Amino acid sequence: MGSITREDEKSTTKQDVITFGAGPSKVPRVVLERIQKGFSNCADSGISVIEVGHRTKEFVDIMKSCEARIRRLLSVPSNYRVLFLQGGAQAQFDAIPMNLMGNQGVNQADYLVTGAWSLKALKEAKKYGTIREVCPQVPGFSCIPDQSAMQYDPCAAYFYYCDNETMNGVEFDWIPGLREGQVPIVCDMCSNLLTRPIDVSRYGVIFAGSQKTMGCAGLTLVIIREDLVGGELAITPSILNYRMQVAAGSILNTPPTFTAFAVNEALRWVEEEGGIEEMQKRTQEKCDAIYSFIDRSEDFYHCHVPKAYRSRVNIVLRLPSEDLEKLWLAEARRHGLIGLEGHRTVGGVRISLYNGITMDDVKRLLDFMETFMNAHR
């Protein structure tokens, strides 16, 4: 998608543009200003953050600060390790089976597929061992199967699921898996981490890319229970080896230094704004306002996901026709509302409500949606 020009915007200025993109996503203005300052002078070092050596005290302090903030925000127990890795969250689709299937010689894992991302993870994992789905996939991924439909293997190396499916607009409000805790739960929280409190102790591994709720693209957060570190398969590359990354403090090789700086500033902002509880409150207020409007629109705007399974952070919807959707997206863009296209594989409209989106942003979007609806019924 190209940049917006003044000709495209007409009466809209650059400052008026709001991105509702699914990631990378909107970053709070104060965070952008702090990043801008660090770009020219990082931690009063006299050099840019992109010039700071990755083994200098300045950068090591940034990495330590990122970890400390994550531990505070998520109340991470002391027996968990916090890593910041490269390769995007998709690299974890391979890293997880390679690191966990060697534990105690168990070469089998359970997967719950509820959307496009968990399906991708399943396909990657099949390269490393026996992968079993705990229940049949729902056609169209429009809802989440009931827990009673899931058959777990108590001897599996781990159980894997995705907490929020960005393409399909479904989100868990409960934790699947065996309650006894004998099978580690691995969870993809790329799109909803830091939007509500979580009990980290319920999980074996949590991972999330940084481009949605932690600043900008380039790092992947991995939180792993320490007893799960060290059982990797022999084929595991060093860069994806949790044991080696823990020993190296996430600096096994040169990390994306700028991204680490941006992530630290984004986490700082979450703390200053009131932490996870405040983010949860804001997220609920934003999604409630949009879903309420959709449901009152008499199917001009239609969300196919049943209310019980609707994502708080990725709202998917359709208009009466594809032609009208194209017009809607073009008009939205002209009004400075961008990043609203549905994923290329599913089409439609997608509204992403990560922490950087404000209630004022939502109100402006709703005003546009109402005006467009009244003009095109």
**DSSP-assigned states of every residue in 284-321:** HHHHHHHHHHHHHTTTSSB--S-GGGB-SSEEEEB-S-
* Per-residue pLDDT reduced to its tens digit, 334-352: 999 999 999 988 999 999 9
pLDDT band at 4 (very low <50, low <70, confident <90, very high): very low
Candidates 94, 110, 163, 212; catalytic one? 212
pLDDT for position 90: 97
Q: What is the mean pLDDT of residues 351-356?
A: 98
pLDDT band at 6 (very low <50, low <70, confident <90, very high): very low
Q: Closest Cα partner for 296 from 211, 188, 369?
A: 369
Known catalytic residue at 328 = no
Q: Round to whole Å and give the CA distance between 258 and 270.
A: 19
pLDDT for position 366: 99
Domain spanning 33-272, CATH class? alpha beta
CATH code for residues 6-28+274-376: 3.90.1150.10
CB 352 within 8 A of CB 22: yes
Candidates 94, 110, 163, 188; catalytic one? 188
Average per-residue pLDDT in the chain?
94
Spatial CB neighbours of 139, under 8 Å, sequence gap ≥ 6: none
Known catalytic residue at 188 = yes
Going by DSSP bridges, is the β-strand pair 170-171/164-165 parallel, antiparallel, or unpaired? antiparallel
Residue 120 has pLDDT above 80, yes or no: yes
Candidates 117, 163, 269, 286; catalytic one? 117
* Per-residue pLDDT reduced to its tens digit, 64-79: 999 999 999 999 999 9
pLDDT for position 217: 96
Structure tokens at 62: 């940034």
Residue 34 has pLDDT above 70, yes or no: yes
pLDDT band at 10 (very low <50, low <70, confident <90, very high): very low
Neighbours of 33 (CB within 10 A): 11
Domain boundaries, the chain: 6-28+274-376, 33-272
pLDDT for position 7: 42
pLDDT band at 16 (very low <50, low <70, confident <90, very high): confident
Q: What is the mean pLDDT of residues 10-36?
A: 85
* Per-residue pLDDT reduced to its tens digit, 246-289: 999 999 999 999 999 999 999 999 999 999 999 999 999 999 99
Q: What is the mean pLDDT of residues 351-368?
A: 98
Residue 11 has pLDDT above 50, yes or no: no
DSSP class of 181: -
Give the three-state DSSP class for 142.
coil
pLDDT for position 26: 97
* Per-residue pLDDT reduced to its tens digit, 206-261: 999 999 999 999 999 999 999 999 999 999 999 999 999 999 999 999 999 999 99
